[in-house]
Structures are given as C-alpha cells and as structure tokens.
Amino acid sequence: MPTVATVRWTDRRAGGRADAPVAFDPADFQPGLATRLLVLQPTPFCNIRCDYCYLPDRDDKSRMAPAIARLAVRRLAEDGLLGDRLTVIWHAGEPLAMPLGFYDEAIAAIGEAAGAHCAVTHALQTNAMLIDDDWCRLFLRHGVRVGVSLDGPAFLHDAHRLSRRGHGTHARAMRGVERLRAHGIAFHAIAVVTAQALAHADAVADFFEALGATELGCNFDEAEGSHGESSVAGREDSHLAFLARLFERAVAGGGRLQVRERSQALRRLAGGMPPLRWRGIDYPDNAQVQPFAIVNVAWNGDFGSFSPELLGFTAPGHGSFTLGNLTQTGYLDSARGEPFERLWAAIRRGTEACRRTCRYFDFCGGGAPVNKLCENGDLASAETLYCRSMVQRPIELVLARAEAAAPGRLQRQA
Ligand code: SF4
C-alpha cells in the first residue's frame, strides 16, 4: 500500500505579507515561541581534518566552562523560551576533545537551570575516534544520544576524513564504534556523501546495514564556510541515482537500513509540517527560519539563532551572525538589536521567496538559511543545491515509488 494518497501543493499566491519590516514580538507567534534545540559548541577544536570541513576555527583549543552551559539554559528560562522539553546537542568541533569531567559538571548545571518541569535530552555528534569505555559509561550515565560521523567503508571514509597528519581515520573510528557496541549503546550515523561515493551506493548500504546504526543520515558534501565548493555540484543525476538505490535498499532490507532522508520525506508527505502562525500568516513549522526555535551557543557564550552553522560566520552586508554574548545579554534582548532585525528580515524574505516559487514549500517551510547564504550569497533567496539534494529528491523518490506501487491512487493536487 502506498503511504501517500494525496499530495496537495500550496497555492503559491497565498501569504506574501511577511517580508514587510516589522519589530520582533514573541506575542505574534502561535503557538508561542519555545526553544526546542540548544546547540552548544564546547570547543571549536577538532582532532582531525576532514577535507570538506566548514569550521573556520578548528585549530582553536578554547573550551566552554560549565557556567556558560548553565547560563545558556538559565537565559532560556528567563526569556520564557523553555518549554517542557529541550534537546541539547553538543556539536562542532569534536565534542569528545573536551575533558570527560566537563560533561558531568555541565549536564548537572543544565539540569539545575532547566528545573523539574523541563525534560532535557542530551545528544552529541562525534567522529568516534576518542570513544573509550569511560566515554561509554558517561553516555550511559546521562542517557546521551550518540551520533557517529562515518562516510561508509574505509575506501570512501579515508579519502576525506583525515587525521591531522593526513592519514585515514576509519580504523580508529571503528574501534570507537566497537566500544559503543560492547556497552550496548545505540547510535545513529551521519555520512557525508561526496562525488566519490555516488557510484558506490551498494557499498555504502552494505556497510551501514552491517554497522547496526539505528539510522543513517546522508548529508551531501555542502559548500559552506571555509569549504567553498561541493563535489556533488554538477553531478545531481548521479546523486539522484545514489539516493534511489539507497532507498531501494532500505525498502528491501526490512528495517536493517533506515535512511533518514527517506523517513523524513515519508513523514512530511504523510502528515505535512505542523503550522506556525505569525501575524495571521501560516507557515510550515521549520525551526531554521523561526526565531529562537534553535539557539546556538559558542564556547565563550556568543550566541545566535536560525541555522546552527551561521554562528561564527560573517558575510558582506551582514557582518557577524553572532547576536550577543550570554554574559552580557539575553536572547530576547538581542532581538531588539539591529543585527537581529536585519538577519530575521532577510530570512523572512527568503521564506517568502520560497513560498512564491517552490512547490515543496509545504514540506520544507523555507529551508536552510545557511545554505541560501553560502550557495546563493543571499539569505533572501530560495532554491539551493541543498534543497534539491536533501528535500526535493527524497520527496520525489518517495512519490515515484508510491505511484509505481499503486498507479492512479496518488493524486498531486495543485
Ligand atoms: S526546498 Fe528550497 S526552495 Fe523549496 S521551500 Fe525549501 S528551501 Fe525553499
């Protein structure tokens, strides 16, 4: 049975007033604004040097103090942005380059600041190189959800994920994965799909089926920050074929291989995205374009919102995307400043451009501002290679399968 029976594409003429200049007011949003994702960057430092990395400061060994982690959550509570659930992601550079004791302190401090009414879940994304038994015990102690960055079999992974001396890192990452397995810790995997991987979908599927990860996320090699060009650009037919084969394997594997992009597309097509109303205009609820749904905090308390990667970036016409520093100002106070107003206005113009021009808008909500900026040089623009790779192709593949499985049952309504 096809999962999708009817797909309605939005009337592109709807909405359209959201790009007028307005002051930010949390009371304009229904449901009320709440931060669902707090991305904490405990250190800019990374112990390896992937050749597609976008981080500008990966040699910087600065470290977050637990007091900054506490302040990051206390400020959310003071601003009324703390709901009954919060996910904290420790990310960028390599979170395990921090001392293990930092997390015991920081997680306790966050729990105190969040209080009993807010359930906090901790997650981290790691290159797995430093995972040992002590880290595994910490993950179990705090219920940390673990994601490992692996690009597939060694010949693909070692082509790009290099040590600081230029050697492959696959063997050491797999030793870390072995420790996770030995402790019975479930983990998901995120792979960066480069041009080189596109001809090897079956090798990638074989590897991740055997790995036992709960889910495989297939990021594609994005042009972002200090990594100015995507190797997938100009190879989009090959990327489509790669994804199609991976999705086939996911279906044929009976659950052994869960591909995040397929699951997301199925969810979006089956249920749409919940609406967020701002000043009487309904938007599909996309956290990356919604103020403070995602809050990003650097090691020193600098913070930003919207796409996490924006924190630390600068761009002509915008300057820095840092909105403030927690030791001096709160999140909502920063929204009264000119940098926030300029940033949010540009993101709203981009969302409106998406609404006018993109038939996938109901399943996306206006995409990823950081990719609009990095690919098109303009936050107010619409389609990107990221859109086509991460949103549009997965949806089209799921629809094509539904149509093939039950010809005539699927209706696309304009
Ligand atoms: S897929 Fe791209 S162009 Fe379409 S709504 Fe999303 S961000 Fe905008």
Nearest C-alpha to atom 1 of ligand 1 is from which residue?
Answer: 387
What is the arithmetic mean of pLDDT over 78-96?
Answer: 96
Find out whether the beta carbon of 392 lies less than 6 Å from any atom of ligand 1. yes
Mutation test residue for ligand 1: of 289, 379, 384, 385, the one with most atoms within 8 Å of CB: 384
Find out whether the beta carbon of 364 lies less than 6 Å from any atom of ligand 1. yes
Give the total residue count for the chain: 414
Cα–Cα distance, 348 to 287 (Å, whole number): 13
Cα–Cα distance, 128 to 179 (Å, whole number): 10
The closest-lying atom of ligand 1 relative to the alpha carbon of residue 355 is 5
What is the arithmetic mean of pLDDT over 137-151?
Answer: 98
The 10s digit of each residue's pLDDT in 264-308 is 999 999 988 999 999 999 999 999 999 999 999 999 999 999 999
Give the pLDDT of residue 413: 61
Find out whether the beta carbon of 146 lies less than 6 Å from any atom of ligand 1. no
Task: State the pLDDT confidence band at 397, using cuts at 50, 70 and 90.
Answer: very high
The 10s digit of each residue's pLDDT in 214-249 is 999 999 888 877 787 889 899 999 999 999 999 999
In order of their start, the domains of the chain are 32-339 (3.20.20.70)
Find out whether the beta carbon of 64 lies less than 6 Å from any atom of ligand 1. no
Mutation test residue for ligand 1: of 283, 354, 355, 359, the one with most atoms within 8 Å of CB: 354
Statement: residue 15 has pLDDT above 70 = no
Nearest C-alpha to atom 3 of ligand 1 is from which residue?
Answer: 383
358 Cα to the center of ligand 1, angstroms: 6
Find out whether the beta carbon of 391 lies less than 6 Å from any atom of ligand 1. yes
Give the pLDDT of residue 407: 79
Find out whether the beta carbon of 390 lies less than 6 Å from any atom of ligand 1. no
The closest-lying atom of ligand 1 relative to the alpha carbon of residue 392 is 1
Find out whether the beta carbon of 360 lies less than 6 Å from any atom of ligand 1. yes
Task: State the pLDDT confidence band at 7, using cuts at 50, 70 and 90.
Answer: low
Statement: residue 251 has pLDDT above 80 = yes
At 273 the three-state DSSP class reads coil
The phi and psi torsions of 190 (rounded to 5 degrees) equal -125, 125
Give the pLDDT of residue 21: 67
Give the pLDDT of residue 411: 66
Mutation test residue for ligand 1: of 355, 370, 391, the one with most atoms within 8 Å of CB: 391
Statement: residue 17 has pLDDT above 60 = no
Sheet with 275-278, strands from edge to edge, namely 29-30, 275-278, 281-284
The 10s digit of each residue's pLDDT in 99-123 is 999 999 999 999 999 999 999 999 9
Find out whether the beta carbon of 136 lies less than 6 Å from any atom of ligand 1. no
Statement: residue 9 has pLDDT above 60 = no
The closest-lying atom of ligand 1 relative to the alpha carbon of residue 388 is 1
The 10s digit of each residue's pLDDT in 159-206 is 999 999 999 999 999 999 999 999 999 999 999 999 999 999 999 999
Q: What percent of the chain has pLDDT over 70?
A: 93
The two most distant CA atoms of the chain are separated, in Å, by 60
The 10s digit of each residue's pLDDT in 32-85 is 999 999 999 999 999 999 988 877 788 899 999 999 999 999 999 999 999 999
Give the pLDDT of residue 23: 86
364 Cα to the center of ligand 1, angstroms: 6
Find out whether the beta carbon of 379 lies less than 6 Å from any atom of ligand 1. no
Contact 202, 252 (CB under 8 A): no
Give the pLDDT of residue 372: 96
Alpha-carbon separation of residue 94 from 3, 86, 90, 128, 199 (angstroms): 38, 22, 9, 9, 29
The 10s digit of each residue's pLDDT in 378-388 is 999 999 999 99
382 Cα to the center of ligand 1, angstroms: 6
